[in-house]
């Protein structure tokens, strides 16, 4: 990702990061954390009053998590000079030149940019890049539950080639997919029909999942749809095991699901209450005020919802890359090449109706394939609802980045039943020259789409690309 960004034309390089992070017009997180409220304690104690001011942009619609990230990075740089020196020594030339320009422009202001602050901004950018790249890990472990290891590796390999991820670095949106996929992967493991975890592991896993969910919601309310996906899947799985609790396996599954559910609630609520106890910030009240402020955004910036409703899929296709988009769309419509194998080589043609009929008829099946299809339906349902709500009109390319890994995973799970029906071996992952060629074709096409998009779109301005005359 760093190499792709640095090889791009000037406006798309990492040199854009200091301008995005330093100046308050883009977000304001760094400015407030470093200059307006540098002390964490007073900042958190007054945060409810701050969001109650009614700001409909960044501050008023976000919990304090992103501010705390900059507080933490600032404290680390101030305390450890070696970390500051290491950051300054490793920043690329475009980033260094941009910092020099910001320093020059702010020399006569009350808060001129310093070497400490340049180091903080580079560390923040590195954190976003690292989490964006690390999204491959939960994406792999989610995919490998329903497909071969080979398919999971190929699916994860597509993620760094999603244009929107590189384009919107250093915005926190590029880091959020790591958290969203970790949550979805976690709930998939906790709620498996054939789960053989002990009750202690279910308890610990549930507590960890609840804590991670609270940490995610501390950053942004954008994770609320992810929690809704998890809730729907957990409730569906729990109801299924309860309805089949006459046999021993069903009773064991019901107990495991109950333990996991209680642990998740305890981990989530406990984390929030501990945060309130130690920091004095009531996240429940902050989230409520954030949602009220967010509901007023389109009153301040009105949009033609019906028009953006039509544009959103096109914007998503460009942001994710057309090969990824078509690969995700194919199993939903019964396009050729989505029935056999693992979506990397063509199979028989079927209709979308027959595919979805088979899925609906088997939704009560206690199997790995059934688990994947139920989770896929929960994720798709929430995503479609988010689209129909019109809440992200005109900003799909950035605001839906945390959902984009699902575009890579969904086609895999939706063809897994066809693999079984065609007597494929999803767990063994047989490879043929033809399937290897198809995989290479998908990756090459996505790579080309990624390079062309990243080199043309800076994320914060059009122009300056290789196609300018």
Neighbours of 137 (CB within 10 A): 15
- CA dist list (Å): 365 to 191, 232, 237, 267, 306: 14, 17, 10, 30, 39
Q: Do 328 and 249 have their domain in common?
A: yes
Q: Would residue 60 count as lying in a domain? A: yes
Q: Do 140 and 94 have their domain in common?
A: no
Q: Would residue 430 count as lying in a domain? A: yes
Q: Do 143 and 71 have their domain in common?
A: no
Torsion of CA 116, 119, 123, 129, to 10 degrees: 150
Q: Do 13 and 59 have their domain in common?
A: yes
Does pLDDT of 341 surpass 50? no
Q: Are 235 and 227 in contact (CB under 8 A)?
A: no
Greatest pairwise CA separation for the chain in angstroms: 76
Q: Do 404 and 291 have their domain in common?
A: yes
Mean pLDDT, rounded, for 95-99: 94
Orientation of helix 65-79 relative to helix 115-134, angle to 10°: 120
Tokens of 62: 């976000």
Q: Would residue 466 count as lying in a domain? A: no
Q: Do 292 and 234 have their domain in common?
A: yes
Does pLDDT of 359 surpass 70? no
Q: Do 237 and 98 have their domain in common?
A: no
Q: Do 67 and 182 have their domain in common?
A: no
In the DSSP assignment, the letter for residue 276 is H
Predicted confidence (pLDDT) per residue in 168-184, tens digit? 999 999 999 999 999 99
How wide is the angle at C-alpha 72 spanned by C-alphas 68 and 75, nearest 5°?
135
Q: Do 177 and 250 have their domain in common?
A: yes
Q: Would residue 282 count as lying in a domain? A: yes
Task: Supply the mean pLDDT for the chain.
Answer: 85
When pLDDT is cut at 50, 70 and 90, the band that residue 309 belongs to is confident
Q: Would residue 163 count as lying in a domain? A: no
When pLDDT is cut at 50, 70 and 90, the band that residue 334 belongs to is low
Mean pLDDT, rounded, for 316-333: 87
Does pLDDT of 323 surpass 50? yes
Q: Do 302 and 340 have their domain in common?
A: yes
- Lowest model confidence (mean pLDDT) among 32-41, 122-131, 304-313, 344-353: 344-353
- CA dist list (Å): 401 to 53, 168, 348, 396: 28, 9, 32, 8
Question: Buried b vs exposed e over 346-360: b needs ≥16 C-beta within 10 Å?
Answer: bbeebeeeebeeebe
- Lowest model confidence (mean pLDDT) among 15-29, 192-206, 441-455: 192-206
Q: Are 199 and 253 in contact (CB under 8 A)?
A: no
Residue 167 is predicted with a pLDDT of 92
Strand partners, 457: 462
Mean pLDDT, rounded, for 320-338: 75
Q: Residues in the chain, how many?
A: 469
Q: Do 62 and 177 have their domain in common?
A: no
Give the residue from 130, 162, 186 where a domain finishes: 130
Q: Would residue 160 count as lying in a domain? A: no
When pLDDT is cut at 50, 70 and 90, the band that residue 133 belongs to is very high
Q: Would residue 462 count as lying in a domain? A: no
Which range marks the domain in which residue 59 is found?
Answer: 2-130
Residue 469 is predicted with a pLDDT of 35
How wide is the angle at C-alpha 120 spanned by C-alphas 116 and 124, nearest 5°?
170
- Domains contained in the chain, number: 2
Q: Would residue 21 count as lying in a domain? A: yes
Mean pLDDT, rounded, for 141-158: 92
Q: Do 383 and 255 have their domain in common?
A: yes
Does pLDDT of 431 surpass 60? no
The model's pTM: 0.90
Tokens of 370: 């059934």
In 3D, which of 7, 17, 9, 8 has the Cα closest to residue 129?
17
């Amino acid at each position: 990702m760093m190499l792709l960004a640095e090889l791009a034309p000037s406006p798309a390089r990492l040199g854009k990061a200091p301008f995005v992070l330093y100046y308050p017009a883009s977000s304001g997180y760094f400015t407030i954390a470093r200059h307006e409220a540098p002390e964490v304690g007073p900042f958190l104690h007054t945060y409810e009053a701050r969001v109650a001011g009614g700001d409909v942009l960044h501050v008023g619609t976000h919990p304090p998590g992103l501010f705390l990230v900059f507080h933490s990075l600032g404290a680390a740089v101030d305390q450890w000079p070696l970390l500051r020196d290491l950051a300054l020594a490793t920043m690329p030339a475009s980033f260094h030149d941009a910092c020099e320009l910001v320093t020059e422009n702010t020399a006569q202001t009350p808060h001129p940019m310093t070497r400490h602050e340049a180091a903080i901004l580079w560390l923040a950018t590195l954190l976003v890049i690292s989490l964006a790249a690390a999204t491959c890990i939960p994406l792999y472990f989610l995919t490998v539950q329903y497909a071969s290891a080979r398919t999971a590796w190929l699916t994860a390999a597509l993620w760094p080639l999603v244009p929107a991820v590189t384009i919107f670095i250093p915005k926190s949106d590029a880091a959020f997919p790591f958290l969203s996929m970790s949550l979805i992967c976690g709930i998939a493991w906790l709620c498996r029909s054939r789960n053989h975890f002990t009750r202690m592991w279910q308890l610990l896993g549930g507590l960890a999942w609840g804590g991670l969910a609270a940490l995610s919601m501390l950053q942004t309310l954008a994770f609320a749809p992810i929690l809704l996906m998890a809730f729907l899947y957990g409730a569906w799985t729990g109801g299924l095991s309860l309805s089949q609790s006459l046999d021993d396996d069903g009773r064991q599954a019901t107990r495991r699901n109950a333990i996991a559910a209680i642990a998740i609630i305890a981990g989530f609520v406990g984390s929030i209450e501990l945060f309130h106890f130690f920091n004095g910030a009531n996240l429940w009240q902050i989230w409520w005020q954030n949602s009220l402020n967010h509901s007023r955004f389109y009153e301040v910036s009105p949009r033609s919802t019906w028009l953006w409703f039509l544009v959103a899929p096109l914007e998503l296709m460009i942001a994710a890359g057309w090969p990824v988009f078509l690969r995700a769309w194919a199993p939903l419509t019964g396009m050729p090449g989505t029935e056999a194998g693992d979506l990397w080589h063509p199979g028989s043609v079927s209709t979308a109706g027959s595919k979805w009929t088979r899925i609906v008829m088997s939704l009560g099946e206690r199997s790995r394939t059934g688990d994947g299809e139920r989770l896929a339906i929960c994720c798709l349902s929430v995503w479609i609802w988010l689209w129909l709500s019109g809440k992200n009109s005109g900003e799909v390319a950035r605001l839906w980045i945390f959902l984009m890994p699902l575009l890579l995973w969904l086609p895999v799970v939706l063809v897994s039943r066809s693999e079984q029906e065609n007597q494929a071996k999803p767990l063994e992952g047989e490879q043929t020259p033809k399937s290897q060629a198809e995989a290479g074709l998908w990756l090459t096409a996505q790579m080309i789409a990624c390079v062309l998009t990243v080199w043309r779109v800076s994320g914060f301005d059009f122009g300056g690309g290789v196609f300018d005359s």
